[in-house]
Amino acid sequence: MERMKREGYTPIRRTEEPIFQEVKKDGEITYEPVDRTVIFDAVPVKTEH
């Protein structure tokens, strides 16, 4: 967040995406969530002149 401010951006949305891992059980492949990634959408800060 601090880096975004220093570079002149402000966050507008926070999204979490799951990270899955393949797991083989009884010959079948299933996908289980093991972690998540946080992604911020940001826009440039408008400065008034």
* Half-sphere exposure in the Cβ direction for 45 (13 Å, CA): 11
For 12-39, the pLDDT digits (tens) are 999 999 999 999 989 999 999 999 999 9
Q: Work out the burial of residue 9: count CB atoms within 10 Å of its CB; fewer than 13 is exposed, 13-18 middle, 19 or more buried.
A: middle
| 49: pLDDT strictly greater than 60 | no
Residues 6 or more apart in contact with residue 16 via CB below 8 angstroms = 36, 37, 38, 39
Q: What is the pLDDT of residue 48?
A: 60
For 4-16, the pLDDT digits (tens) are 889 999 999 999 9
